[in-house]
A and B are shown apart, each in its own frame.
Chain A
Amino acid sequence: MDSSDAALVARVLHGEVNAYSALVSRYRDKYARYAVHMLGNREDAEEALQDAFTRAYRSLARCEDPERFGAWLFRILVNRCRTSGARRVRRGQTFVHDETALLNASEEHPAEQTMWREEIERALGELSADQREAFLLKYVEELGYDEMAEITGVGVSALKMRVMRACDRLRVLLREVHSA
């Protein structure tokens, strides 16, 4: 059975609603990462992600390029995160990591790793939403500026400026942490 995005989208539009679950499984972890860092907490992130999947299903017939369903879904998620409201960073929150990644991670003591992770999240929280979005798309999701422009609707030069400012700010914030 062809399990490409286009094939799955075709099956869903054909009335096979359960085929949509394969698309959910395919993209949920990947896009959960962006939502968590953008919104600062798991609950809001999962709600935004659920909402994005639901909206994508509702308007699936309007997905012009089913082969790029993932990118289209991501655009919906980015917009959803923008309207999600104020970011909240919860102290002491830990995330469930992929076990393999955990095993392959640095040899730092796990407690230190958690603290470092929290500091990064806190610093991200200090950025404006626009800067945080641009930074995450560029460096974490590793998109090109043209792709970022397509997803956000913002011009390339404006995006570059936001990324630059985000990097400058994060550098300052994290230097402060280390020197403290």
Chain B
Amino acid sequence: MRMRTARSLLAVLLVGSAFRSTEAQDPRLSNRLDAPTRKALSAIVDSARAQGIPVEPLMEKVYQGLAMGADGSRIVVAVRSLTLEMGNAHRVLGAVATTDELKAAASAVHAGVPAVELGKMKKQSGLRRSLTLPFTVLADIVSRGVPVAAATNAIKSLVGAGAKDKDISDFQRNVSVDIEKGAQPAAAAETRAKGAVVPPPKAENREHE
């Protein structure tokens, strides 16, 4: 029994603490977070790390909460939520997803986009193309009121048509301007997506012009 306890303790110690190592370096964490908050965050961050979820975004969330004056419990809720969202993203995007893609995907999940849709987009786009920006834009237009289905379809059609990041950035800017001018969000997204995926005229057609 003693040996089993010792082994469990050893396992806990050996996992180490990503949160505690950062805490040791940054006085903000020890000065402004109470002990129960630090303990809770340490457990969440270490658990995330053990699952292979990158912990840097979680620490960034902690710092954001501190800067914005949030209390400890709110920071814990936010970090826990982000961990779940990144975990969901990780499951559907697979081992090929970069940390940035996971962060952006978590943002889209947070906005209400089903993680499974993000996985479909990743499969559709192939391994070479990063979906960091498309996922970021997806989260943005949903937060501006474009219904999740319309937003997902718009981004999917852009990615599927091979739109570059610049095109998707332009799409986001145009949709947000249209909505500010009073357009229905769904209509703005659908219209701009159609316009963004129009293929260039073929060379033989141009000769006849």
* Chain A interface residues toward B at CB < 8 A: 1-3, 7, 11, 14, 16-19, 21, 25, 99
B10:A99 contact, CB within 8 angstroms: yes
Residues in B with CB closer than 8 Å to A7 are 95
In the complex, which residue of chain A has the Cβ closest to the Cβ of B18?
A: A18
B56:A18 contact, CB within 8 angstroms: yes
Q: Tell me whether B185 is interfacial, beta carbon within 8 Å.
A: no
Alpha-carbon distance between A11 and B10 when the two chains are bound, in angstroms: 28
Residues in A with CB closer than 8 Å to B3 are 99
B56:A25 contact, CB within 8 angstroms: no
Task: Indicate whether A3 sits within 8 Å of B6 (C-beta atoms), given known contacts A11-B99, A18-B18, A25-B16.
Answer: no
A1:B95 contact, CB within 8 angstroms: yes
* Chain B interface residues toward A at CB < 8 A: 3, 6-7, 10, 16, 18, 52-56, 90, 95-99
Sorted from nearest, which 7 A-B pairs have the closest CB atoms? A2-B95, A1-B52, A18-B56, A16-B99, A1-B95, A18-B55, A16-B56
A2:B96 contact, CB within 8 angstroms: yes
A-B contact pairs, 15 of them (CB 8 A): A1-B52, A1-B54, A1-B90, A1-B97, A7-B95, A11-B98, A16-B54, A16-B56, A16-B99, A19-B54, A21-B16, A21-B18, A25-B16, A99-B7, A99-B10
Of B53, B56, B90, the most chain A CB neighbours within 10 A belong to B56
In the complex, which residue of chain B has the Cβ closest to the Cβ of A2?
A: B95
In the complex, which residue of chain B has the Cβ closest to the Cβ of A98?
A: B10
Alpha-carbon distance between A3 and B16 when the two chains are bound, in angstroms: 18
A1:B53 contact, CB within 8 angstroms: yes
Residues in B with CB closer than 8 Å to A2 are 95-96
Residues in A with CB closer than 8 Å to B95 are 1-3, 7
Report the minimal beta-carbon distance from B68 to chain A, rounded to whole angstroms.
Answer: 23
**8 extra interchain contacts, Cβ-Cβ under 8 A, other than A14-B98, A17-B56, A99-B10?**
A1-B52, A2-B96, A16-B99, A18-B56, A19-B54, A19-B99, A21-B16, A25-B16
In the complex, which residue of chain A has the Cβ closest to the Cβ of B90?
A: A1
Residues in A with CB closer than 8 Å to B90 are 1
Report the minimal beta-carbon distance from A12 to chain B, rounded to whole angstroms.
Answer: 11
Alpha-carbon distance between A11 and B52 when the two chains are bound, in angstroms: 13
Of A1, A3, A16, A21, the most chain B CB neighbours within 10 A belong to A1
A3:B52 contact, CB within 8 angstroms: yes
Residues in B with CB closer than 8 Å to A19 are 54, 99
Residues in B with CB closer than 8 Å to A11 are 54, 98-99
In the complex, which residue of chain A has the Cβ closest to the Cβ of B22?
A: A18
Alpha-carbon distance between A131 and B90 when the two chains are bound, in angstroms: 49
Alpha-carbon distance between A99 and B55 when the two chains are bound, in angstroms: 30
Residues in A with CB closer than 8 Å to B6 are 99
Residues in A with CB closer than 8 Å to B55 are 18
Residues in A with CB closer than 8 Å to B18 are 18, 21
Report the minimal beta-carbon distance from B149 to chain A, rounded to whole angstroms.
Answer: 29
